[in-house]
Structure 1
Amino acid sequence: MVQVIAAHNLELHDVEARFGLQQSTDPAFFPEWQGVAMALDERDLYWLDKAKANFLSLIKYRLHEEVVKMSILAPLLAVSGLGTAPFVPKAEKQVEVTFPNQDSDADGEMIRGRIDLLVLYQNLWVVTIETKPQQSDVLEALPQALTYMMASPDEALPLFGLLTNGRHFMFVKLLKQPQPVYGLSELFTLFRQGNEMHQVTAILQHLGKLTMELDWKKRKVG
């Protein structure tokens, strides 16, 4: 019988070892989040500022990740445009990754989990979003996000993810070929002056535009 492992039980070390993943700290590896110009109007800014104020008013309480989705992800998707056609958000998409047993005839292992939110564009994965309760460290979402991104059918295209616990945000980039490599953005937070949800929204918009480019499939990945 195949041994089923829940994705949420995996640590980052486990995920890196199983997939042969390496982390790149070279800023040139992940330029897509850097220097993105914001094109938000006053209405967009108002709703993002309202979302920040509402969420910060609740952080004295232990908030379930569903509250994070409702109060933070909903306005991010709405303002960035990733929550409406031609983009299609998919919630709780089940993912399974099988690892055959290389040492014997015994059955292997299967990692199984559900992506919190996956944004698609014509079957291309635009961004994989993994949330955690606001009291959790945002990096607790990284092992699951990387596992789900490795399960994507896209082998040559770069894959992107967003980790959030409502208070903090971090983007992930993954290249599967020739060697699986991932990189992280800087940490965005609601605890600085201004509202860094503006930058997070602009980056989401940018990732959506990259995916919609007509020559995207012809681009060299790297």
Structure 2
Amino acid sequence: MTQTVAITEAIATLKDAETRFGLIRIESEHFFTEWFEGLPEITEAEKTSLDVLRRRYLYHRGEGDLLEGTVMLLVVSPLLALAGFYDPPFKIQAESSVELVLDDGEEVLRGRIDVLVLQNQFWVVVLESKKTTLSAWSAVPQALAYLMANPHPNKPVFGMVTNGDDVLFIKLTQADTPQYDLSRVFALFTSKRELYKILQVLKRITFAIAS
């Protein structure tokens, strides 16, 4: 009898994700170049918009922990808009259901992804800001499970995990052996330059999946 399990319950650690899906982390500079190489320049107008975004976030964050929906409104949605994800040829799906059937056919992993962009090639996982004690790393195992549900395994997929304070990018490929790697953590509290870099990475990923 097939058993349905929530992704958040079944995949709690990186070891869980790697074991269940046969994932291997590739710590090579040549695998995930999109987060540090060939980053596009951003305009002064974009920098001004990012400065406003950061001030708003820090203002609201100063009142205490932020719920997931507030992080989406203050950080994720403005960033996706600036990066061009709301414009052609991209399509947005919010809170999309994800279902992943394991090879043995006896277990189905089910969950909901916060934002799904363009043919399942870019996924966003948003945490509540109260989870900053674990940083964005705490959502990486579940994000990897969502990326493995990509119905186009011949294409690389990218993910962004954020709790507002921190942003982390992921790249995963499924050709032959499933492989993945992570960017460094970008911290919004550190400086304005961190937010500029996040937008540059997002723009670089839009180019990678649209070309």
TM-score, normalized by the shorter chain, greater than 0.5: yes
Structure 2 distance, partners of 1:110, 1:66, is 27
Name the CA shift for 1:100/1:86 in 2 (closer, same or farther; >3 Å): closer
Out of 141, 144, 147, the position equivalent to 1:143 is: 141
Shift of 1:39: 2.7
2:130 matches 1:128: no
Q: Is the 8 A contact 1:130 1:164 kept in 2?
A: yes
User: Aligned match of 1:42 in 38, 41, 44?
Assistant: 44
Q: Does 1:163 align with 2:161?
A: yes
Runs of 4+ off more than 4 Å: none
Secondary structure (helix, strand or coil) at the match of 1:178 reads: coil
Residue 195 of structure 1 aligns with which residue?
A: 193
What residue ranges of structure 1 are gaps of 5+ in the alignment?
Answer: 102-106, 214-222
1:84 is displaced (CA, Å) by 2.0
Quick check: 1:75 aligned with 2:73? Answer: no
Amino acid paired to 1:119: V
TM-score, normalized by length of structure 2? Answer: 0.91
Partner of 2:87: 84
Q: CA deviation at 1:37?
A: 3.2
Q: CA deviation at 1:54?
A: 1.0
3-state DSSP class of the match of 1:28? coil
Aligned AA for 2:49? W
CA distance in 2, matches of 1:146, 1:39: 29
Given the two structures, how large is their TM-score scaled by the length of structure 1? 0.86
Q: Which moved more, 1:163-172 or 1:12-21?
A: 12-21
C-alpha distance in structure 2 between counterparts of 1:34 and 1:196, whole Å: 13
Greater shift in the superposed pair: 150-159 or 33-42: 33-42
- Which ranges of structure 2 fall in alignment gaps of 5 or more residues? none
Does structure 2 conserve the Cα–Cα contact (< 8 Å) formed by 1:93 and 1:114? yes
Q: Give the corresponding residue for 2:4.
A: 4
Q: How many percent identity over aligned positions?
A: 33
Q: Residues 40-74 of structure 1, C-alpha deviation per residue, up to 9 Å, x if partnerless?
A: 22221111111111111222412111111000011
What is the aligned partner in structure 1 of residue 53 from structure 2?
51
Instruction: Show the counterpart of 1:211.
Output: 209
Please identify the structure whose Cα radius of gyration is greater. 1
Count of equivalent residues: 205
Q: Report the RMSD for the aligned CA atoms in angstroms.
A: 1.6
Q: Amino acid of the residue matched to residue 71 of structure 1?
A: L
Match of 2:98 among 69, 74, 95: 95
Equivalent-residue separation in structure 2 for 1:100 and 1:85 (angstroms): 35
Bigger fraction of residues in helix: 2
Q: Aligned partners of 1:27, 1:7: CA distance in 2, in Å? A: 30
Letter matched to residue 77 of structure 1: L
The residue identity in structure 2 corresponding to 1:128 is: W
The Cα shift of 1:23 comes to: 1.2
Instruction: Indicate conservation of the 8 Å contact 1:95/1:114, yes or no.
Output: yes
For residue 13 of structure 1, the aligned residue among 5, 12, 15 is: 15
Contact 2:89–2:210 (CA under 8 A) maintained in structure 1: no
Contact kept in structure 2, 1:22 and 1:182, CA below 8 Å: yes
What amino acid is aligned across from residue 7 of structure 2 in structure 1? A
Contact preservation (8 Å) 2:159, 2:171: yes
